[in-house]
Structure 1
Amino acid sequence: MDAVQPTLVTRLNAEWEWLCADRGNADRVRSWMLDAGVLDEDQAPAELGELCTLLRKRSERDEPEFSDAWMGVLLRRVSAGDGRDAELAARVLVQAMLPLACRMLRDCVRSGESSEDVAQVVIASLWEVVRTYPIARRLRRVATGLRMELWHRVSRELKRELAPSEHLDEAWVAALPGGVEPADAVEPVLLARAAEEAGLRAAASAVEELEGARGEMVALLVWALEREVLTTEAASGICDHYREGAVQDAAAASAWGVSPVALRRRRSRAVSRLRQAAPQWAEAA
């Protein structure tokens, strides 16, 4: 990516400073958090930037329930579509997720593509994810859900909006595992990040495998974990079994501390649940 920050990101950061300078914005967001019991009166800074920094730091330190609480407050405002409040709530969430979007942007830009063009795709996807997140149905693991939704949308939109580049810059190529074709590397790298976030660390560590049918399967497993269709254990079992060079069931069962028969039954149940849910994934893709 260009050393210069994309203009769109610069504008968002400048706009954020302007929003923070308006005390009314801080008062509104602060009152939402106090009314919901997310923060106590003596905990909540009066300045919007400081308040949001506190929420992010607490999210990193505390259990996921804290992220669910404050992000849920904002997402319910967004989904209510109540004019200025909905716009402000969405804007706070966009700013909170902007560092993630910028990291994704850096991963996506290939030689011959403009960072400005990719930024348009990533930031537009971020706004869409914030505005459409189904908070009424998905109250838990909200931060993870938002990140996964952003990965899915960016991955789809880059395919749709930007033509494949013939080559990647040298730094990107040097970072790729052996055997990965540069022109095909963007989606597997994003998928590896999503797999790691979802808990499929074995898949995340083998970027070179995340293409074709294997990539589609891992993308489905990431989706299934985010929707809580499968547990991490069940998804990992499927991911480890259906791959080239997979260990035999006896060895895998020993590693899991179960019998081979129990392992096969567990995997069969997981595959059945995945098969039932797959049409929903296909519809969302």
Structure 2
Amino acid sequence: MPTIADLEVTDTRDAATAPGAAAPGVTRARRRTDGSLAGRLNVEWARLRHDDTAAAAVASWARVHPALAGCASPGDVEHRVVSAPERADDVLLALVRLAHDGDDLAGRTVLQLMLGKALRIAGTRAGQDPRPDLEHAAISALWTTIATYPVERRPGRVAANIAMETLRLVSAELAHRRCETPASPDDVDLTAAPARPRADVELMNLLVWAVERGTVTAADATLVLDIYSPAPGESGGTAAAERHGLSWPAARQRASRAARRIADAVHADGSWPWDR
């Protein structure tokens, strides 16, 4: 699969917006056709939707993978995920398998389908780095997740697993940046605590594990993370609830239910996820 640098197209002509309704997580990304990385990816995707070579590749996928049967262009694949969300995981799994077999267009298609989610993940880290840097980090993390996704071990809940692993990678990358040694020794504060303590890393790992096994949804996991471990510059609690479009009582109840389900799952499993 190509690197993220290979996806940074610079030609912004024919910046058509993809028609039709959009699935949650990709709507805003598809509408953007500015000079940002996401905008350039959208411009490239608009061309791929009408590219004859890409259409021939999709038709070949459809003959092999039942989840893609009847698709004859990248736009058809996108429409299938948008119009039938219950089939999205099967479509994504087929595309990831193709990508791992060396089909770059399949990987690029997964990237497009999950692009909106990556941008929302970048949004949750607002205030930590410039927005373009956050988006680049999130898109790079998404591409890495697609390239390394364990299809045999995680054949279900593909969209949720990709989203949570992308979130984990972005958080780890930003935490690493914050912990890097400053350029000047005079800037070092030996008494300062890390911006994200070990407890936050454990919470992230626990939530990824819970989403992977189907204990909670990716949306609930993100809510819990935002309430109890918000990004630097963001507030948790009621402010996090507002960012998710919820009242504080509703968000607290939803997070509490998710926490109880996770606690029950850990108890039933007999060990902490990171102890394996």
* Partner in structure 1 of residue 126 of structure 2: 109
Who is 2:239 aligned against? none
- 2: distance between equivalents of 1:34 and 1:162? 48
Give yes or no for the alignment of 1:15 onto 2:37.
no
| Cα deviations by residue, 1:166-187 (Å, 9 ceiling, x for unpaired) | xxxxxxxxxxxxxxxxx96xx8
Separation in structure 2 between the aligned mates of residue 227 and residue 35 of structure 1, nearest angstrom = 27
* Aligned counterpart for 1:79 among listed residues 100, 103, 110: 100
Question: Are 2:177 and 1:161 aligned?
Answer: yes
The runs of at least 4 aligned residues of structure 1 exceeding 6 Å deviation read: 266-269
Q: Name the SS of the counterpart of 1:14 in structure 2.
A: helix
Aligned to 1:142: 158
* Greater share of helix: 1
Largest Rg, 1 or 2: 1
What is the match of residue 112 of structure 2? 95
SS of aligned partner of 1:32: helix
Task: Work out whether 1:221 is the aligned partner of 2:206.
Answer: yes
Structure 1 unpaired stretches of 5+: 165-182, 188-210, 244-255, 257-262, 281-285
| C-alpha spacing 1:160/1:13, structure 2 compared with 1 (3 Å) | same
CA-CA distance at 1:5 after TM superposition: 5.2
Q: Secondary structure at the match of 1:140?
A: coil
State the aligned residue count.
194
Give the structure 2 partner of residue 253 of structure 1: none
Per-residue deviation, 1:216: 4.6
How far off is 1:96 after superposition?
0.5
Counterpart contact for 2:89–2:156, Cα < 8 Å: yes
Closer, same or farther in 2 for the Cα pair 1:47/1:163, shift >3 Å?
A: same
Higher mean C-alpha deviation, range 102-111 or range 135-144:
102-111
Corresponding residue to 1:68 among 85, 89, 107: 89
Contact 1:93–1:130, Cα closer than 8 Å, also in 2: yes
SS of the residue 2:161 aligns to: helix
CA RMSD of aligned residues (A): 3.7
The one-letter code of the counterpart of 1:118 is L
Residue-by-residue CA offset, 1:190-246 (whole Å, 9 max, x unaligned): xxxxxxxxxxxxxxxxxxxxx873x45542331221332x845xxx9xx9xxx9xxx
Q: CA deviation at 1:163?
A: 7.1
Write the distance in 1 (CA, Å) between the matches of 2:66 and 2:33.
41
Q: CA deviation at 1:128?
A: 0.4
With structure 2 as the length reference, what TM-score do the two structures score? 0.58
Query: Secondary structure in 2 aligned to 1:135?
Result: coil
TM-score (norm 1): 0.57
Q: Against the structure 1 CA distance between its residues 4 and 13, is the aligned structure 2 distance closer, same or farther, given a 3 Å change threshold?
A: closer
Q: What is the identity percentage for the equivalent residue pairs of Structure 1 and Structure 2? A: 25
Structure 2 stretches lacking a partner, 5+ long: 1-31, 181-193, 229-256
Counterpart residue type for residue 266 of structure 2: A
Q: Does residue 1:122 correspond to 2:138, yes or no? A: yes
| d(CA) in 2 for partners of 1:4, 1:15 | 10
Q: Which of 238, 253, 273 is the aligned partner of 1:277?
A: 273
Aligned-partner residue type, residue 146 of structure 1: I
CA distance in 2, matches of 1:39, 1:268: 37
Report matched runs for 1:153-232 at 5 Å. Answer: 153-161=169-177, 213=199, 215-216=200-201, 218-228=203-213, 231-232=215-216
Q: Hey, what's the Cα distance between the residues in 2 that align with 1:59 and 1:6?
A: 31
- Residue type of the partner of 1:159? A
Hey, what does 1:176 align to over in structure 2? none
| Partner Cα distance (1:212, 1:162) in 2 | 14
Give the SS at the match of 1:38.
Answer: helix
